Amino acid sequence: MSNPADVVHAQHVAHEAHHEELGFWRKYVFSTDHKVIGIQYSITGLLFLLFGFSLMMLMRWQLAYPGVPLPLIGGLFGDARMPGGTMLPEFYNELGAMHGTIMVFLGVVPLAVGGFGNFVLPLQIGAPDMAFPKINMLSYWSLFLGGMTMLGSFFVPGGAAQSGWTSYAPLSVIAGTGQTWWLIGMIFLITSSLLGALNFLTTTIQLRAKGLTFMRFPFFVWAQFVTSFLLLLAFPPLEAAGVMQLMDRVAGTSFFMPSGLIVSGQVLANAGGGNAVLWQHLFWFLAHPEVYVLILPAMGIVAEIIANNTRKPLWGYRAMVYSLVFLGFMSFIVWAHHMFMTGMGTAMAAFFQTTTMIISIPSVVILTSLLLSLWGGSIRFNTPMLFATAFLPMFGIGGLTGLPLGLNISDIPLHDTYYVIAHFHYVVAPGTIFALMAGIYYWYPKATGRKMNETLGKIHFAGSLVFMNVVFMPMFIVGLAGVSRRLFDAGSGYDFAQPTMHWNVVSSWGAWLMGVFQIPFIFNFFWSIRNGEKVGDNPWEATTIEWAAPSPPPHGNFAVAPQAYRGPYEYSVPGAAKDFTPQHEAS
């Protein structure tokens, strides 16, 4: 026992020994362990992604075959929504608004930030848990309540919110009860994000291992760190806006209601004097940083996997970190590029299009660095790496097609067309969601001690990659033809939309077949818990600290508090005995 590490270890074991065993509820449901909460977030996020995707698969029927009754399951939705199996426009709007809301706030963010952030971040910085475990639990349950409120809103009279995920006023103010539920649900979700964000920030600053300076952080930790700042500072304005819209709806105020608004031929009784564009400003002040909340954790995941599977350090780590911080800062001053059509005036438009062009520079720096990191590596093409490499061109397409939307002049014809849909789905769907899939395959062994099946993983990857493009590539064509994204019949009543109608059929079949290719993933996910290949603590031979913990890590994570001796990606160091030198190994 002369070795100090052994003493610490013995004390730790003694300490663990008189821990009483927690009951089922405290251990798996109302847990304060960051790993359990991370898994809760991930599973909730995945279920909502599947649900949001199902809403979209319904919408795709209506878009491919407008007015044709939905076969087999069309009768299940009742006469109020789909009489005789044919979708009503109101139901289509419900599906559209809730698809967006669910995918962004209940699917991707909980999985990317709540799930991966909670599970991986404390492990990567060598912490025993999050800084505030109870607040962490509260944050998950707040999300859960928000999610249930959103789901419940489908069953209120008039159905769920129908004013788009952006809930533009004054339409959202005069909409049915579902919108009130939407606002209350959002307040829960915002609270959840705020609590999560301040927890991540405190954890990263305070609980990082000895020797783990900021410039030794894995890129994923940096990504989560900047993301948390965005959530912390950008979400409250939406909360304020949500409260004001709630006041407009419930207390009859007129924050977003102009004077003399005429609805269905009647002047509304509101006092008026409000400003509908104010809602847009407050909404996009959140929602633009939110775009980076969606993409930054994805970049973090991809960076980890690329460094690991090319067996070489990330190219330009410092430039990537500086770009990330700059990106986070700039994301607060680009929001009005979503609002070029509000008649904001050329001076304002010039300012926001300039900042938008500037923000593309750090994004390109990060993407280019990741691309150059592949150069000269002896790449292992396992499932996580396949998803991570596919992320690069897919996110590239999404990013580059965004440039015409960021310029005032070219935005005018493209605004609110399918082009916009194609653009941001390339960023978020084959971009972020591919990265999240990569992350699931990559960290699954850490969470369970077993690898997911590679063959099923490769089938999942190939199908997803092909059909993602079949879904979204035609939308560029439809959008360039000028078809609006809001039409419930894909524009079948308009002459100019006729030449592109058949592309909707292609997109729809792409979506359904992509759904089919998620089945191997779902099966693999559950099957591998018991039957996956058993692996050790560090199956990918990675360098970052999370792999020093046992798989799965026990409560408290590390037997001995780890220490960082070097940077995060010391792969293939010349002269070293093996091709990876972990951060936590003393030289």
Partner 1 sequence: MDIPYTVEVRRDTGLNNGKIGIWLFLASEVMLFGALFASYILIRTGSPSWPRGDTLLDVPLATFNTIVLITSSVTMVMAWASLMRRKFGTFRIYMGATILLGFVFLIVKYFEYSHHFAIGEGPSHNNFLAIYFTLTGLHMLHVFGGMVVNAYFWGPGAKLYQTNPVWFTNRVEHSGLFWHFVDLVWIFLFPTLYLL
- 518 contacts: CB under 8 Å, gap ≥ 6: 50, 53, 460, 464
**From the list 43, 240, 333, 400, which residue makes contact with partner 1 (rule: CB under 8 A)?**
240
What CA–CA distances, in Å, run from 97 to 52, 91, 245, 268, 283? 10, 10, 17, 25, 15
What's the rounded Cα separation, in Å, for the pair 481 and 501?
A: 10
- The C-alpha angle 516, 522, 528, rounded to 5 degrees, equals 140
Indicate the residue among 23 and 554 with the shorter CB distance to partner 1.
554
Report whether 336 contacts 354 (CB < 8 A).
Answer: no
The residue (of 415 and 555) whose beta carbon lies closer to partner 1 is 555
- Residue 263 has φ and ψ, to the nearest 5°, of -120, 130
| 10, 76, 243, 267: residue in contact with partner 1 (rule CB under 8 A) | 243
- Cβ at position 323, least distance to partner 1 in Å: 23
Using the structure block, give the residue that is written with the tokens 């994004």. 363
The nearer residue to partner 1, 107 or 274, going by C-beta atoms, is 274
**Minimal distance, residue 31 CB to partner 1, in Å:** 13
Q: Which of 64, 282, 301, 490: binder of partner 1 (CB under 8 A)? A: 282
Q: Determine, following the binding rule CB under 8 A, whether residue 15 of this chain makes contact with partner 1.
A: yes
Cβ 344 to partner 1, closest distance in Å?
A: 13
Q: Does 72 bind partner 1 (CB under 8 A)?
A: no
Contacting residue, 132, 144, 509, 512, with partner 1 by CB under 8 A: 132
Closer by beta carbon to partner 1, 275 or else 410 = 275
CA distances from 331 to 197, 322, 337, 530, 532 (A): 17, 14, 11, 43, 41
Q: Please state the closest distance from residue 66 (CB atom) to partner 1, in A.
A: 40
Judged on CB neighbours under 10 Å (0-12, 13-18, 19+), 458 is: middle
Select from 67, 71, 252, 550 the one that contacts partner 1 (CB under 8 A): 252
Q: Under a CB-based contact definition with an 8 Å cutoff, are residues 136 and 199 in contact?
A: yes
Positions 31 through 70 that interact with partner 1 (CB under 8 A): none
Helices (H), 267-345: 276-310, 317-330
Half-sphere exposure of 471 (CA within 13 A, CB side): 27
Q: Which stretch binds partner 1 (CB under 8 A): 83-91, 105-113, 234-242, 311-319?
A: 234-242
- Check binding of 344 to partner 1 (CB under 8 A): no
Interface residue with partner 1 among 22, 88, 174, 233 (CB under 8 A) is: 233
Q: How many CB atoms lie within 10 A of CB 312?
A: 22
Token pair recorded at residue 17: 């020994």
Applying CB under 8 A, does 10 fall inside the site for partner 1?
A: no
Residues in contact with partner 1, counted by CB under 8 A, come to a total of 47
Q: 200, 194, 191, 195: which is closest to 130 by C-alpha? A: 200
Cα–Cα distance measured from residue 133 to residue 120, given in angstroms and rounded to the nearest whole number: 15
- Residue 208 or 425: the one with the smaller Cβ distance to partner 1 is 208
Does residue number 254 form part of the binding site for partner 1 (CB under 8 A)? yes
Q: Give min distance, CB of 290 to partner 1, in A.
A: 14
Single residue of 108, 216, 220, 239 touching partner 1 by CB under 8 A: 239
The two beta strands, 262-263 and 266-267, are antiparallel
If the CB atoms of residues 136 and 432 are measured against partner 1, the closer one turns out to be 136
Per-position b or e across 340-375, b if 16+ CB within 10 A of its CB: beeebeeeebeebbebbeebbebbebbbbbbeebbe
If you write DSSP's letter for every residue of 344-374 in order, what string do you get? Answer: --HHHHHHHHHHHHHHHHHHHHHHHHHHHHT
The single residue among 75, 83, 133, 515 that binds partner 1, judged by CB under 8 A, is: 133
Nearer to partner 1, 280 or 373 (CB): 280
CB atoms near residue 533 (< 10 Å): 12
253 near partner 1, rule: CB under 8 A = yes
DSSP string, 478-493: HHHTT-BTT-TTTTTT
- Tell whether residue 241 is a contact of partner 1 (CB under 8 A): yes
User: Among residue numbers 349 through 368, which ones bind partner 1 (CB under 8 A)?
Assistant: none
**Shortest gap between Cβ of 282 and partner 1 (angstroms)?**
6
The reply to whether 378 sits near partner 1 by the rule CB under 8 A is no
Within 206-225, which residues bind partner 1 (CB under 8 A)? 206-207
Residues 521 to 580 in contact with partner 1, rule: CB under 8 A: 555-556
SS3 267: strand
- Indicate the residue among 393 and 556 with the shorter CB distance to partner 1: 556
Q: Identify which of residues 135 and 407 has a Cβ nearer to partner 1 in the complex.
A: 135
Which CB, 88 or 325, lies closer to partner 1? 325
**Closer of 247 and 505 to partner 1 (Cβ):** 247
For residue 362, whether the previous peptide bond is cis, meaning omega lies within 30 degrees of 0, is: no
Q: Least separation, in Å, of the C-beta of 197 and partner 1? A: 8
Asked if 113 touches partner 1 (CB under 8 A), the answer is: no
Q: Give least dist CB 235 to partner 1, A.
A: 7
Q: Is the dihedral of CA 362, 368, 371, 374 positive or negative?
A: negative
Quick check: 290 binds partner 1 (CB under 8 A)?
Answer: no
Check binding of 278 to partner 1 (CB under 8 A): yes
Binding segment for partner 1 among 131-139, 350-358, 379-387, 535-543 (CB under 8 A)? 131-139
In the complex, least distance from residue 172 CB atom to partner 1, rounded to whole angstroms: 16
Choose among 436, 325, 445, 451: nearest CA to 391: 436
Q: Which token pair is 105?
A: 């706030």
Query: Which residue lies nearer to partner 1 by CB, 285 or 569?
Result: 285
In angstroms, the Cα distances linking 459 to 386, 431, 469, 514, 542 are 11, 18, 16, 11, 25
Q: Does 83 sit near partner 1 (CB under 8 A)?
A: no
- The answer to whether 274 contacts partner 1 (rule: CB under 8 A) is yes
Q: Which helix (H) or strand (E) holds 152?
A: helix 133-152
Contacts (CB under 8 A) with partner 1, residues 189-208: 194, 197-199, 201-202, 205-207
Contact residues toward partner 1 (CB under 8 A) are 15-16, 19, 128-133, 135, 194, 197-199, 201-202, 205-207, 232-237, 239-241, 243-244, 247, 251-255, 270-271, 273-275, 278, 281-282, 285, 555-556
